[in-house]
């Protein structure tokens, strides 16, 4: 949707307005770049992609369609957000069913900000003795990051913005937009 000034019109999600931040064509190129790096790093291996629900489902789907190496996928569900803020309490809502001992794991996350959810997932996975654990995230808020682990495959480093679309949400809404939008507090 385009406004009268030729710029993309803002969108409304619940009670907030958001303006375009990243178009789907740019997203597609970024995902392709991540997939290419994973293909090179995992030649001759069978990694298990572990998508973190709910947000990562779109990124995980796009990423797996672009990865050309043999692989498998599973999902876990963790939650830390309440409204527009990441909370200190991490809720594990859906656990892992696969045997991962000795497996190469690639955690797929839509966004890493404080890193608290990912740190909890790392701790949980360690008990299962995987061969390796790496992280692929689409968005990384480096300025908000408070943990000490590496983002191995980072699609896009963003400032500490609140964003929706491409799986990212505001109270469960807005995930379905193919582009990414940032909160616009001027509207």
Give me the mean pLDDT over the 7-21 stretch: 95
The reply to whether 96 falls in a domain is: yes
Residues 124-148 have pLDDT tens digits of 999 999 999 999 999 999 999 999 9
The reply to whether 47 falls in a domain is: yes
**Among the options 104, 113, 169, 179, which is catalytic?**
113
CATH number, residue 15: 3.40.50.2020
The reply to whether 124 falls in a domain is: yes
The reply to whether 17 falls in a domain is: yes
Could you write out the DSSP letters of every residue in the chain? -B-TTSSBPPEEETTEEEEEEE-HHHHHHHHHHHHHHHHHHTTT---EEEEEETTTHHHHHHHHHH--S--EEEEEEEEEEETTEEEEEEEEEE---S--TT-EEEEEEEEESS-HHHHHHHHHHHTT--SEEEEEEEEE-GGG--S----SEEEEE--S--EEBTTB-BTTBSTT-SSEEEE-TT-
The reply to whether 140 falls in a domain is: yes
113 is catalytic: yes
Residues 65-101 have pLDDT tens digits of 999 999 999 999 987 655 565 556 666 655 788 899 9
Domain of 137? 11-183
Give me the mean pLDDT over the 45-56 stretch: 96
pLDDT band at residue 8 under the 50/70/90 scheme:
confident
Task: Give the chain's domain count.
Answer: 1
Mean pLDDT of the chain: 91
């Amino acid at each position: 949707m385009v406004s009268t000034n030729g710029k993309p019109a803002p969108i409304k999600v619940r009670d907030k307005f958001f303006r375009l931040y990243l178009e789907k064509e740019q997203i597609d190129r970024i995902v392709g770049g991540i997939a290419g790096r994973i293909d090179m790093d995992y030649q001759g291996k069978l990694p298990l992609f572990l998508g973190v629900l709910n947000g990562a489902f779109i990124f995980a789907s796009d990423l797996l369609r672009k990865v050309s190496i043999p692989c498998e996928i599973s999902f876990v569900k963790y939650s830390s957000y309440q409204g527009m803020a990441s909370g200190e309490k991490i809720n594990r809502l859906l656990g892992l069913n696969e045997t991962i001992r000795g497996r190469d794991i690639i955690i797929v996350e839509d966004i890493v900000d404080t890193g608290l959810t990912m740190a909890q997932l790392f701790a949980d996975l360690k008990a299962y003795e995987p061969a390796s654990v790496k992280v692929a995230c689409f968005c990384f808020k480096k300025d908000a990051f408070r943990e000490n682990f590496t983002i191995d495959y980072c699609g896009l480093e963003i400032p500490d913005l609140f964003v929706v679309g491409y799986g990212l949400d505001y109270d469960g809404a807005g995930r379905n937009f193919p582009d990414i939008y940032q909160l616009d507090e001027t509207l």
